[in-house]
Amino acid sequence: MTPFLNQIQSETSTTIMATAKKAAADNGVLHSQTSGNRIITLDEFIIRSEKDFDYATGELTGLLRDIGVAAKIINREVNKAGLVNIVGEADSGENHSGDMQQKLDVYANEKLIECLQNSGECCAIASEENTDILNIPPVGSKKSHYVVMFDPLDGSSNIDVNVSVGTIFAIYRRESDVSGPATKADFLQAGNKQIAAGYVLYGTSTILVYTTGRGVNGFTLDPSIGEFCLSHRNMRIPEHGQTYSVNQGYYSKFDLEMRRYIDHCSDQNYGLRYIGSMVSDIHRILIQGGIFLYPSTRKYPKGKLRLLYECNPLSLLVEQAGGKAINTQLKRILEVEPTELHQRSTIVIGSPGMVDELKAFIERYSALPL
């Protein structure tokens, strides 16, 4: 065992034990806070948080509400997907990047666009399912300052097999003049300019997790009252975890530094957890700690996942919860300047201790100039 691995291994084992104890303690605190307390709904929480922003005009509140409504409608269809003829491929065939569209993808996309037209707080959208940006007609004399981009149903290839899927969204202030239509430039902003970001996970229960740059909170949908209720206040990602998340099937196609790190994970007896729906994997990591990586492969030399509506929003959430997110050139995801709407990126995201660990492997083994 090289001195490099000895040092990594000794650091790792002590950190794991400390972190596991703390994560358990935190989790305990989290749940007791809500029980017996008055239910706090998403809408109420959004309105209350509005006063944290001096320049708040209620626009962002309206937008987050619209997304909450869309999530409830999509949730209803996802939950009964197995019953009605909404699973399987859509007649619309492939989307602009050759991914086979699922019926629920198309449905979720339509519902999000419809709901974001409601409040008039959104002037344009960009979606994984649409080639170009879509300008939203203004409501009355309202001049909206926000653009929204989203992946309507992430992990959609899992729908037919009843595995959890999710919606991912990011909100930016437009840079173009409000008197005219929004432009692509309004969407090509670095991730650290996000005003808000979040996801909805349609899993064993449906949870909406979001941040406005002041911490991360999760709201579980109570179908009996049709409300998202605060269930995960101020989520903090554990410093270290005991699982790694990667499509190990691509192992032989990964670069040396990734193979070395994956070897290290199994030497450390980390468990391999890979659902194949990024929202689900990241949600688990936010709560239990761990690391998720999607490096470059031969099929996706620049990585598979989309920078604007997958990597950026999830990176803001994880960073806001105390985690880290970088690409395999060791650049912070949120500092990457986008050049295309649907550009892909490599990503390493999760517990700060584990991302730093992988960073050390890239610095040590990468043949590429970093």
Interface stretch with ligand FBP, choices 8-16, 54-62, 270-278, 336-344 (CB under 6 A): 270-278
When asked if residue 200 is in the footprint of ligand FBP (CB under 6 A), the reply is no
Of 61 and 351, nearer to ligand FBP (C-beta) is 351
Supply the DSSP string of 135-204, one letter for each residue: EPPP-TT----EEEEEEEEETGGGGGGT--EEEEEEEEE--S-TTS---GGGT---GGG-SEEEEEEESS
Of 189 and 277, nearer to ligand FBP (C-beta) is 277
When asked if residue 313 is in the footprint of ligand FBP (CB under 6 A), the reply is no
Instruction: Measure the CA–CA gap between 263 and 260, rounded to whole angstroms.
Output: 5
Q: Which of these, 185, 150, 11, 167, lies nearest to 75 by C-alpha position?
A: 167
Q: Largest alpha-carbon pair distance within the chain? A: 69
Element of type H or E holding 81: none
Q: How far is the CB of 34 from ligand FBP (least distance, A)?
A: 29
Number of residues that bind ligand FBP (CB under 6 A): 12
96-115 mask for ligand FBP (x: CB under 6 A)? ---x----------------
Of 46 and 246, nearer to ligand FBP (C-beta) is 246
Instruction: Measure the CA–CA gap between 127 and 284, rounded to whole angstroms.
Output: 25
When asked if residue 277 is in the footprint of ligand FBP (CB under 6 A), the reply is yes
- The 10 Å Cβ neighbour count of residue 183 is 16
When asked if residue 186 is in the footprint of ligand FBP (CB under 6 A), the reply is no
* One residue of 62, 120, 155, 289 binding ligand FBP per CB under 6 A: 155
Q: How far is the CB of 300 from ligand FBP (least distance, A)?
A: 8
Instruction: Measure the CA–CA gap between 176 and 307, rounded to whole angstroms.
Output: 21
Q: How far is the CB of 141 from ligand FBP (least distance, A)?
A: 37
Q: How far is the CB of 345 from ligand FBP (least distance, A)?
A: 12
Q: How far is the CB of 128 from ligand FBP (least distance, A)?
A: 6
* One residue of 19, 156, 243, 320 binding ligand FBP per CB under 6 A: 156
Instruction: Measure the CA–CA gap between 324 and 189, rounded to whole angstroms.
Output: 20
Of 121 and 128, nearer to ligand FBP (C-beta) is 128
When asked if residue 278 is in the footprint of ligand FBP (CB under 6 A), the reply is yes
Interface stretch with ligand FBP, choices 78-86, 225-233, 251-259, 272-280 (CB under 6 A): 272-280
User: CA torsion sign, 197 to 158 to 355 to 209?
Assistant: positive
Near ligand FBP in 237-256, by CB under 6 A: 247
Just list the catalytic residues.
99, 105, 128-129, 151, 153-154, 310
222: which strand partners?
Answer: 227
- The 10 Å Cβ neighbour count of residue 293 is 24
Element of type H or E holding 245: strand 243-245
Answer yes or no: are the C-beta atoms of 277 and 57 closer than 8 Å.
no
* One residue of 28, 276, 330, 368 binding ligand FBP per CB under 6 A: 276
Instruction: Measure the CA–CA gap between 25 and 233, rounded to whole angstroms.
Output: 14
Q: How far is the CB of 129 from ligand FBP (least distance, A)?
A: 10
Would you tell me which residues interact with ligand FBP (CB under 6 A)? Answer: 99, 128, 151, 154-157, 247, 276-278, 304
